[in-house]
Amino acid sequence: MERERERGHDWRATSFETRAIHAGQEPDPATGAVIVPIYQTSTFVQEAVGVHKGYEYARTDNPTRSALQEAVAALEEGAWGLAYASGLAATQNLAYLLEPGDHVLLSDDAYGGTYRLFAKVIARYGITVEQVDLSDLDAVRAALRPETKFVWVETPTNPYLKVVDIAGVAALVQDHPAMLVVDNTFASPYLQRPLTLGADLVLHSTTKYLGGHSDVVGGLVVGNDRAVYETLKFHQNAAGAVPGPLDCWLALRGIKTLAVRMERHSANAQAVAEFLGEQDAVERVYYPGLPDHPGHEIAARQMSGFSGMVSFTLRGGYEAAAAAAAATRVFALAESLGGVESLIEHPGVMTHASVAGTKGEVAPNLLRLSVGIEGIGDIIEDLERALAAVPVAAIR
Ligand SMILES: *Cc1c(COP(=O)(O)O)cnc(C)c1O
């Protein structure tokens, strides 16, 4: 934050596309390098004790990390950002805001790793974690308790792409001590900016769309409240789960093209969802861009596009889904999402295997696509190949 005030140009007044390329990323003051350098150093020289250029030790602050924090804060229209070694490290850092006795409301199909961290680690410290369907505002109202500290929203959710009304939940939380945290990983700030809809904090796994090239793991939190910043900044340094400078640089590099990538991800995913909806082998398609999706209207209101994630169930159960997932060539069979390349995965036995037997359990015949930015003709042809691999006996 200090660094930002030293700068001349107010990038916040510019368009999203311009901010993605320039905010926090002005030419290096020391050398004129146009791109923010990878400050691969663990420590910084002091002219005398305490006399330095704002950096002392790289766990506390590193210029490449400062640039990333400033860039994402500008994109989310927040006052500050804090970067972490992973999305889950960011979640863990937010948990340092909790006290024993506090209660957390988590969406019933929260990211599996988030659920695991809250239910198996954070809950050990006297914190109660409850899962509810946050797309049902009556259920949220009923579940709020005086000791609720976080309402933890993901939208669209994973893997069913349920849509949560951010402004609606924000209105419920407004007169309550709880903070509304939105995990904005699936939408990216290009398509959805939760702070402008009333959220208190936004969290990202920069591993996904922000990085965008499946080559880095990272996390970020953005907010406006200065006191919350001070607490989190203290814990970022105290607990030390910080990203290295190369990781920050890779995320920054990805962010420069976020706007054009999200446009193409969204267009390709819409075409894929419409194609799948017409196939006999497909039982049901989950994509907020389809008019019959239950969250379509809210998504159209709070997002400027529907992003690149599409889930669908196949007739023929587990066997059909396993056969289709093994038959693609353009789509790589892999966990994760948000990169330029298309990925397919089988949540019941991959990303969501750890939530079997909980409220987050998913159907065995469900497949999830992270639709990439390859040519749409090649993507559709690949899905035709996958569906053709489903054994006919399985469909009957
Ligand atoms: C991947 C992911 C996370 C966790 O992020 P990591 O970078 O893998 O630690 C959290 N939330 C969502 C929605 C994710 O997709």
Same CATH fold assignment for domains 2-255 and 259-395: no
Q: What is the mean pLDDT of residues 56-80?
A: 97
Does 24 sit in the ligand 1 pocket, CB within 6 Å? no
Task: Please state, in angstroms and rounded to a whole number, the distance separating the CA atoms of residues 9 and 83.
Answer: 23
Ligand 1 geometric centre to CA of 279 (Å): 31
pTM: 0.96
Between β-strands 201-205 and 179-183, what pairing exists: parallel, antiparallel or unpaired? Answer: parallel
- Indicate whether 394 pLDDT > 90: no
Helix (H, G, I), strand (E, B) or coil at 219: strand
Task: Please state, in angstroms and rounded to a whole number, the distance separating the CA atoms of residues 115 and 126.
Answer: 16
CATH number of this structure's domain 2-255 = 3.40.640.10
- Which one of 155, 158, 163, 205 would you pick to mutate in the ligand 1 pocket, going by the greatest count of ligand atoms within 8 A of its CB? 205
Question: How many other CB atoms are there within 10 angstroms of residue 43's CB atom?
Answer: 10
Residue 109's pLDDT is what? 86
Does 154 sit in the ligand 1 pocket, CB within 6 Å? yes
Does 317 sit in the ligand 1 pocket, CB within 6 Å? no
Task: Please state, in angstroms and rounded to a whole number, the distance separating the CA atoms of residues 328 and 317.
Answer: 18
Q: Are 338 and 313 in contact (CB under 8 A)?
A: no
Residue 290's pLDDT is what? 98
| Nearest atom in ligand 1 to 110's CA | 13
Q: What is the mean pLDDT of residues 4-9?
A: 54
Does 113 sit in the ligand 1 pocket, CB within 6 Å? yes
pLDDT one-digit tens code per residue, 297-338: 999 999 999 999 999 999 999 999 999 999 999 999 999 999
- Residue 378 tokens read as 């090649």
- Phi and psi at residue 210, to the nearest 5°: -60, -50
Residue 361's pLDDT is what? 87
Q: What is the mean pLDDT of residues 154-183?
A: 96
Ligand 1 geometric centre to CA of 300 (Å): 24
Residue 359's pLDDT is what? 74
- Indicate whether 379 pLDDT > 90: yes
CA nearest ligand 1 atom 4, residue: 87
* Band of pLDDT at residue 395, cut at 50, 70 and 90: low
- Residue 91 tokens read as 């979640």
**Identity of the residue numbered 71:** A
Q: What residues does each domain of the chain span?
A: 2-255, 259-395
Does 87 sit in the ligand 1 pocket, CB within 6 Å? yes
| Nearest atom in ligand 1 to 158's CA | 13
Q: Are 283 and 275 in contact (CB under 8 A)?
A: no
- Which one of 72, 94, 109, 114 would you pick to mutate in the ligand 1 pocket, going by the greatest count of ligand atoms within 8 A of its CB? 114
Catalytic residue IDs = 59, 111, 183, 208
Does 102 sit in the ligand 1 pocket, CB within 6 Å? no
- Residue 374 tokens read as 């390859």
Residues near 49 by Cβ (< 8 Å), separated by ≥ 6?
A: none
- Indicate whether 1 pLDDT > 50: no
Ligand 1 geometric centre to CA of 313 (Å): 23
Helix (H, G, I), strand (E, B) or coil at 215: coil
CA nearest ligand 1 atom 5, residue: 87
- Which one of 86, 109, 117, 185 would you pick to mutate in the ligand 1 pocket, going by the greatest count of ligand atoms within 8 A of its CB? 185
Residues near 181 by Cβ (< 8 Å), separated by ≥ 6?
A: 94, 150, 151, 152, 153, 199, 200, 201, 202, 203
User: What are the helix (H) ranges across the chain?
Assistant: 2-6, 16-22, 63-75, 87-95, 112-116, 137-143, 166-174, 188-191, 226-239, 245-255, 258-277, 296-302, 317-325, 376-388, 392-395
Topology adopted by domain 259-395: Aspartate Aminotransferase, domain 1 (3.90.1150)
Mean pLDDT rounded to a whole number for the chain:
95
Q: What is the mean pLDDT of residues 358-373?
A: 92
Task: Please state, in angstroms and rounded to a whole number, the distance separating the CA atoms of residues 266 and 260.
Answer: 10
Does 155 sit in the ligand 1 pocket, CB within 6 Å? no
Ligand 1 geometric centre to CA of 327 (Å): 26
Ligand 1 geometric centre to CA of 163 (Å): 17
Residue 317 gets the label, from left (phi > 0), alpha (psi -120 to 50) or beta, of left
Q: Are 323 and 331 in contact (CB under 8 A)?
A: no
| Nearest atom in ligand 1 to 206's CA | 7
Does 114 sit in the ligand 1 pocket, CB within 6 Å? yes
- Residue 16 tokens read as 């999203």
Ligand 1 geometric centre to CA of 205 (Å): 5
Residue 124's pLDDT is what? 97
Question: How many other CB atoms are there within 10 angstroms of residue 370's CB atom?
Answer: 27
Asked if omega into 156 is within 30° of 0 (cis), the reply is: yes
